[in-house]
Chains A and B, each alone.
Chain A
């Protein structure tokens, strides 16, 4: 069985203008959505607050739940159904994080029982203090930044033998971020600036492969974050894990194409870079799509069967795999042509 024949030859690099325009549109929409929503919708992991998952033995009225919460001072909480309606599982969120120490679970359980008349089962409580939330946000941003840098070093080293150049550059960036992070600077701005500086430096140092890979990774992350923002989904620690996995996954695809480009450059001295890149993308197309397919199979299984807690994780992975596959075909390799068509 074969979906894509061995002699396929699509003109992908020739249509890179369309792809770039498409990607740019998606990025602009993502950033606009982030601006309109005033940043990502941080879950309690990052903003601090309390989350309670409660299961009732029978269907309660949401207004009754709210009354019960009001009685114990949780006036500004959001209540939403969690999973299928017939499960009677509810998620209660509040920005208050100071309650947990003082008989909180008993208090909430009693208040809900009194207000709804139904026995509640407190299945999960997560309380994150504002300071911890801030720390976690910082850690998450650093994790994204460091993985991008380490990946860049590895790619520059493996594909262009520029271990030292990329290593020193990344080392300097890391040190700068480390020292700047000590002064209470906004982490979001710091990391955004650091990534921008990274891109400019790589451009000047002509670390082509690393730049191609990093640009496509940032592309994937921004668009996935944008989709979360548009759908108003919550950002939690697991979503950061998903984003980082998408980075690893998309990179996996990108590297396989790069690897083929490297191999073909040696064999096809006479062809120009664009032909080589287009040929390499076509040769690896079957593998790229197949792997995405098998990964999507399991991710969909996780999405539909894995339960409510893992739902958003599976969703972001599914979306990320699709966008990552797209970017490794249409974004990462064509960027190598930005320095001209000669190899």
Chain B
């Protein structure tokens, strides 16, 4: 009699590895430090899918190009009758006179050779041209914007302090953010979703806000609002400002942003610091515009528009705006982490509160235990001794799924628990196929040993064929599913592999063991 069969050894080894991987789940912080991760639907938390408005990143680039183009034209003393941003992010440039047209073309080919001329229209002396960025360039801007948005969001979340966040790009311009255990979802969303584009722009004090509100604002100006909550009535008051479009300085020159408390009013504000270049620019603009109002514009909202009293050197400024300490802290985080290259839109949000998650785990495990015990009892009653072998295989099966989940660092979701429960029902199937076959062989008059051999031999192929197809389904589900569904596919797939292993290796070796020990005349099946 061989005690050390290859099947027995293999079973012991696999079970041993599975148990080792399960240690950290039961006793946290122990070797090998791989735990079963709980999905957001079980531990609570937030799942967001954001879409980066990449077209706006292209728009920003085109706007900057127009700005640079105008500068170069001015420096080259070339006159134009207007260069503007069109719909579809193309540029329309109107130039009159041969000299100007030649000069324009020269600058275009010298410094802006990435732009392609889509069409040229001549009307007498005047030429109007339609320019645009090549598609390749647009695509790469979009790709960069998504990539950069991902980095920025990651930085913000790191500073916000979420343990084990999962942030990844989904498709072309979508970002999936998973924040386990986050309870203040509103705050997290505000922090992630805010573009945080900080601009310093002058207030146009010559223009009339009231008439601009009725008609169109003067050229080069834009109407932006400051929102304030009236402390007495609690109502939000929106004050319109006529702001010059030209951005004098932006948030990209920031080196630091911190929450400070105003000693006079005891109000929090965000103190910002510029880098050397930014500090120089800030000094210059404050020096050139004394007694004018400089607006601090964040995401197209005016935060404050103080009158410049004096030239400000040293590169420091403050953003005030009736913040709570928390708001000021989050704004500082967003400014430190940098602006998003383009605004993001929340496409999908799933938030599960911690109490619901705990309920789901409790009920999931309860139904798993009850279902499992019922199946175990049924198998023991129906197949007696052989049923006990199937029951042992079933328990090992669940341990293997658990070990597998931990080893692959897979995420257990509520549908995942359903997958395990389903596997309990289906795991015994492989054994049922084999046992039924053995019974058939016994019925046809074979000896117990021969029946067992024939039963396993014939049933093996059947079991394999039947399970491979379910495995195909699990793989397809994994490929096409998202979040919780993926979790279901993982446990289903693991369950199938585990049940194949337990039925074909573990059950077989146990049958061999019992049959070889004594000359059995009857089989408990």
Contacts and interface: CB of A to CB of B under 8 A. Distances in A.
Q: Do A and B bind each other?
A: yes
Contact of B353 (A123, A284, A286, A298): A123
B184 to A, nearest CB: 9
Interface string B379-423: 101111000000000000000000000000000001101100110
A307 B358 CA distance: 11
Given A251-B469, A259-B462, A302-B371, A127 B346 contact: yes
A249 B371 CA distance: 18
Contacts, number: 231
A332 interface: no
Nearest to B477: A244
B422 A295 contact: yes
A127 B458 CA distance: 51
Contact of A237 (B193, B429, B484, B492): B484
A227 B502 CA distance: 36
Given A125-B349, A298-B371, A301-B371, A158 B356 contact: no
How many of chain A's residues touch chain B, expressed as a range?
35 or more
Interface in A63-82: none
Contact of A241 (B375, B421, B461, B485): B485
Contacts of B472: 147, 150-151, 154, 248
B364 A307 contact: yes
Contacts of B415: 238, 241, 310, 313
Nearest to B383: A1
Nearest to A136: B482
B521 to A, nearest CB: 20
B481 A143 contact: yes
B353 A305 contact: no
Interface in B417-467: 417-418, 421-422, 424-426, 428-429, 432-433, 436, 439-440, 443, 458, 461-462, 465-467
A169 interface: no
Contacts of B425: 291, 294-299
Main secondary structure of the interface of A (DSSP, over half): helix
A302 B418 contact: yes
A256 B348 contact: no
A310 B356 CA distance: 13
A133 B381 CA distance: 48
B52 interface: no
Contacts of B41: 309
Interface in B158-217: 185-186, 189, 193
A240 B375 CA distance: 26
Interface stretch (A16-24, A97-105, A185-193): A97-105
Contacts of A132: 49, 347-348
B382 A245 contact: no
A24 B17 CA distance: 51
Contact of B414 (A296, A298, A299, A310): A310
Given A238-B415, A314-B418, A143 B477 contact: yes
B476 A147 contact: yes
A53 B185 CA distance: 15
A129 B50 CA distance: 10
A296 B422 CA distance: 9
Contacts of A6: 439-440, 443
Nearest to A300: B371
13 contacts: A1-B382, A121-B355, A125-B185, A131-B51, A143-B481, A241-B485, A248-B472, A256-B466, A259-B462, A260-B462, A299-B371, A302-B367, A310-B414
Interface of A: 1-2, 6-7, 53, 55, 100-101, 103-106, 121-129, 131-132, 136, 139-140, 142-143, 146-147, 150-151, 154-155, 158, 237-238, 240-241, 244-245, 247-249, 251-252, 255-256, 259-260, 263, 283-284, 286-287, 290-291, 293-302, 304-307, 309-310, 313-314, 317
Interface of B: 41, 49, 51, 185-186, 189, 193, 345-353, 355-356, 359-360, 363-364, 366-368, 370-372, 374-375, 378-379, 381-384, 414-415, 417-418, 421-422, 424-426, 428-429, 432-433, 436, 439-440, 443, 458, 461-462, 465-470, 472-474, 476-477, 479-482, 484-485, 488-489, 492
Closest 10 CB pairs of A and B: A298-B371, A295-B425, A301-B371, A248-B473, A307-B363, A248-B470, A143-B480, A305-B367, A129-B347, A298-B425
Given A237-B482, A297-B425, A313-B418, 5 more contacts: A103-B186, A238-B488, A255-B462, A256-B433, A302-B421
